[in-house]
Amino acid sequence: MSEVIREISPVRQYFKNLFDGVKAIYNGMRLTLKYMFLPKVTEVYPDVKRNLPQRFRGRFAFLYNKDDGKMLCIGCYACVKVCPPQTIVMETIKGEDKKIKTTRYEINIGECISCANCVEVCPVGALEMTHEYETATFNQMDLVYGMDKLAKYVEKPNMYMPPDGKAKK
């Protein structure tokens, strides 16, 4: 790279610095003045809530069938095995008809990192990430959600569809 550095006399340099500085500050000030009158980008949060995208991962939900009120869970423990903060507590018993029944399903919303790993691995689509995100409470123990609080009644299971170009149901 060849550069010709012109010698400038110190006096000219002094006034050039002054002039350049004032000009640059003027340009900057003009830009900020422009923004003073442009529309603002703030969302006035509790009054106006933004539209959540379809894939939004909010609070966790445990799905029940809307028609007969039966839970979709088959008690396979897959979600427990993939939970990174290991916050899902699950208990199952073998019923009289030899079917496994989930008796306890608890999750601490405060520990949950909303990664949706559990939703992804669930073989029957019995879990869902809802669009609910205002889960703050005054009491820490209220963050532990049992089956009753997690319950959501749906028409069809929330199956994860891998983007492998097949299996479009």
Q: Which amino acid is at 130?
A: T
Where does this chain touch other proteins (CB under 8 A) — which range of 60-68, 79-87, 93-101, 145-153?
79-87
Choosing from 7, 97, 148, 164, the residue that interacts with other proteins (CB under 8 A) is 164
Minimum Å distance from CB 113 to other proteins? 6
- Does 83 sit near other proteins (CB under 8 A)? yes
Closer CB to other proteins, residue 23 or residue 49? 23
Closer CB to other proteins, residue 4 or residue 31? 31
Distance separating alpha carbons of residues 167 and 15, to the nearest angstrom: 72
> Token pair of 18, please?
């002054």
Q: How many CB atoms lie within 10 A of CB 123?
A: 12
- Does 158 sit near other proteins (CB under 8 A)? no
Residues 11-50 that bind other proteins (CB under 8 A): 17-18, 20-21, 23-25, 27-29, 31-33, 35-38, 40-42, 44
DSSP 105-156: EEEETTT-----HHHHH-TT--EEE-S------SSGGGGEE-HHHHEEEESS
Minimum Å distance from CB 66 to other proteins? 24
> In terms of C-beta distances under 8 Å and separation of at least 24 residues, what long-range contacts does 132-141 make, across chains too?
132/58, 132/59, 133/52, 133/56, 133/58, 133/59, 135/59, 135/109, 140/110
CA proximity to 126, closest of 149, 158, 82, 93:
158
Where does this chain touch other proteins (CB under 8 A) — which range of 65-73, 89-97, 109-117, 134-142?
109-117
Closer CB to other proteins, residue 112 or residue 150? 112
Binding site for other proteins (CB under 8 A): 17-18, 20-21, 23-25, 27-29, 31-33, 35-38, 40-42, 44, 53-57, 78, 81-84, 113-117, 120-121, 129, 162-166
